Amino acid sequence: MNDRYVLYALAFSFIFVSAFVLLSFSEVKISEERFTRLYFNTTILENDNNTSNLEGAELKIKNGAVILDGLNSYYPGDTFFVKKKGYTVNLINNKSILLYNYTKRANGLIYFDFTIENLEGVDKNYSYIVYIDGNKILEGNEFVKTNEKIIIQKEIEYRKPGDHRLNIKLNTGAEIYFNFSSVKE
């Protein structure tokens, strides 16, 4: 009787090990990940003798500030415009300046640019909605071919004072946001 249990155990072990070996050597297809990237843009400027150039405007670094065209000083968190494009100073060091391509301090005008990158494997029409504090401000549509990206630039007049949040939501569910302060004129 004990011999019968030993034979059952051996048969079961043989079947189990055979199945494991077959599954180990079989081809397993892993699906490629397909998704959409959505992000706010940044600009990195290299410094040469504490001087950089941004779309024809001269930026100098002095005492931890960026001086635009020799006139105004901007510190990290400050916002400025060059050729109707808004920037916020993020980081200043000896070799570079990192700028956000959106305005964190608004005086009636909010500027931002963002990128939609299509990595879904098929051409796609994206719709997006821009909200401020949960209120729909504007919406748009953009067609993006597979493995390509598009940069969208927007300006919004907004005069309500205080701290606010701007959100962008895509029809894919992707969402990005930034906080900004609007100052009373």
pLDDT of residue 7: 60
Which structure tokens are listed for 54?
């941004």
The answer to whether position 30 is within a domain reads no
Q: What's the rounded Cα separation, in Å, for the pair 21 and 146?
A: 39
Closest by Cα among 110, 145, 142 to 128: 142
The model's pLDDT over 101-136, given as tens digits with 9 standing for 90+, comes to: 999 888 888 999 999 999 999 999 999 999 999 999
Instruction: Kindly state whether residue 161 falls inside one of the protein's structural domains.
Output: yes
Residue of 12 and 39 predicted with greater confidence: 39
Residue 151 lies in a domain: yes
Q: Is residue 69 part of a domain?
A: yes
Distance CA 174, CA 163 (A): 23
Q: Are 123 and 144 in contact (CB under 8 A)?
A: yes
Kindly report the CATH number assigned to the domain that includes residue 49: 2.60.40.10
Domain count, the chain: 1
Ranges of beta strands (E only) in 133-161 are 135-144, 149-158
pLDDT band at 86 (very low <50, low <70, confident <90, very high): very high
- What is the reported pLDDT for 16? 57
**In the predicted structure, residue 25 carries a pLDDT above the cut 70:** no
Structural domain boundaries, residue 60: 35-182
Cβ count within 10 A of residue 171: 13
Distances 38 to 117, 130, 167 between C-alpha atoms, Å: 6, 13, 12
3-state secondary structure of 84: coil
